[in-house]
Amino acid sequence: MKYAPLNSAIFIQNRQRFTGKMEKNAIAVFNSNDELPLNGDALYPFKQNADLYWLTGIVQEDTMLVLFPDNPDPKYREVLVLVRPNELKEKWDGHRLRKEEATAISGISTIVWLDTLDGLLQPWIHLADIIYLNSNENDRKANLVPVRDYRYAAEMKQRYPLHQYTRSARIMKELRGTKSSLEIEVVQQAVDITEKAFRRLLRFIQPGVWEHEIEAEIYHEFLRNRATGPAYTSILASGDKARTLHYHDNNQQCQAGDLILMDFGAEYGGYCADLTRTVPVSGTFTPRQKDVYNACLHLLRYAKSILKPGIAIVDYTESVGEEATRQFLRLGLLKESDVKNEDPANRAYRKYLYHGISHHLGIDVHDLGTRTAPIAAGMLFTIEPGIYIEEEKMGIRLENNVWITEDGNKDLFENIPLDADEIEQLMKK
């Protein structure tokens, strides 16, 4: 890992939160992700299972976690399982964790090697009545690949058919959606690195630079500040490309008079930042660009003013849509007749703002969390309104990350330039 060691209390607290939700006399087993083949003898870079990471902080492959709070032997109430270090493999692939190193990261004192697990796990299973098994249940994506979690579930049910099985995913969705203050400290480090990259870009962008050159500047700043890398594939979309929400080509030259929409964020310590800014390639907005930009900024600030505990996401989105309608009428994008005759299922403002306003953020960029229950303190959201005008070949999106508090929210991006005038001043320097 490139980042500095994290506070193991993060993962100790997370495990306590999870075991506090388990049924009596239940055991939970978590697996790491697979190492996935690329081509030939190459592998994709390893990415740890987000749930296992949230519980342990361990990023090494072939890792498992066993939680059995009612185990008669206290030593085995939480067990971290690691692959045994192998001298030959380490010559090729590098250092593998020793027991004391894994304890320092995770706060788990009982470490066993993977090749000894079977003899230990079977008597624990025999003592338990309920088995929690993990699964990837992010609402945004169906998992059609038979990954390790699903293969392991099938194997366990075959070996122990008379136990009661249940899903840990329901608990993980609830818990991971609410961030502790210790987790937010790590997110803030990712945010601060992202800020450094953005300020670097304000000095770099000018007519004639290429989108991929801007991407290189981002990655340079991330890595020199010990980020793992980008939290997701960066979007550097100049001119009309900004209307494509997931534009990843990043292969166009930036032209004078155009805007460039930049959606990027650093990953630090397993946690993600998610920033979007739109700036003028020439360093100065045209009057029309600034007018649309300020309308988008108004929507961001309006959304932040109502994103508080107790509001439902559907009501929050509807309220931002109402405000967007007012702004689009002012900008001349909509007419009163458009609003009067709109389809309630596809409102008029959706022609110019065709995506959601917020999503959960954390270990995953689109993190686990409720999409139906009221928003609660501790949740971490993006706020990212956009205005996309096909007729003017213009796309503007702005995005900050906010942590929900008991009486409102805290903007983790409060130090990152956002006002149009400030953007222009910094680009002139």
In the chain, pLDDT over 70 holds for what percent of residues? 100
Mean pLDDT to the nearest integer, 137-163 = 89
pLDDT of residue 188: 98
* 6, 89, 111 from 222: Cα distances, Å: 18, 30, 33
Closest among 72, 69, 76, 68 to 112, alpha carbons compared: 76
Residue 141 confidence (pLDDT) above 80: no
| pTM for this model (two decimals) | 0.96
pLDDT tens sequence across 339-379: 999 999 999 999 999 999 999 999 999 999 988 899 999 99
Residue 138 confidence (pLDDT) above 80: no
Residue 142 confidence (pLDDT) above 90: no
pLDDT of residue 114: 97
Let me know: does 272 contact 265? Beta carbons within 8 Å: yes
Pairing status of strand 266-268 against strand 259-264: unpaired
pLDDT tens sequence across 232-266: 999 999 999 999 999 999 999 999 999 999 999 99
Let me know: does 347 contact 328? Beta carbons within 8 Å: no
Let me know: does 149 contact 168? Beta carbons within 8 Å: no
CATH topology of domain 181-428: Creatine Amidinohydrolase (3.90.230)
Q: Which amino acid is at 354?
A: Y
- Residues β-bridged to residue 360: 381
Q: Where are the beta strands (DSSP E) in 23-84?
A: 26-31, 64-67, 78-82
Let me know: does 222 contact 266? Beta carbons within 8 Å: yes
Mean pLDDT to the nearest integer, 9-26 = 98
What are the boundaries of each domain within the chain?
A: 9-176, 181-428
Sign, CA dihedral 200-202-204-209, equals positive
Residue 30 confidence (pLDDT) above 80: yes
Sign, CA dihedral 9-10-13-15, equals negative
Going by the DSSP 8-state scheme, the letter that residue 35 receives in this structure is P
pLDDT tens sequence across 379-415: 999 999 999 999 999 999 999 999 999 999 999 999 9
| Residue 1 pLDDT class (50, 70, 90 cuts) | confident
Mean pLDDT to the nearest integer, 159-171 = 97
Query: Whole-number mean pLDDT of the chain?
Result: 96
Measured at the alpha carbon of residue 282, what is the angle toward residues 278 and 288, in degrees to the nearest 5?
60
Q: Which amino acid is at 214?
A: I
SS3 annotation, 372-410: CCCCCCCEEEEECCEEEEHHHCEEEECEEEEEEECCEEE
**Domain 9-176 is found in CATH 1.20.1250.20:** no
| Residue 303 pLDDT class (50, 70, 90 cuts) | very high
Structure tokens at 276: 């979007």
pLDDT tens sequence across 181-224: 999 999 999 999 999 999 999 999 999 999 999 999 999 999 99
pLDDT tens sequence across 78-100: 999 999 999 998 999 899 999 99
Residue 143 confidence (pLDDT) above 80: no
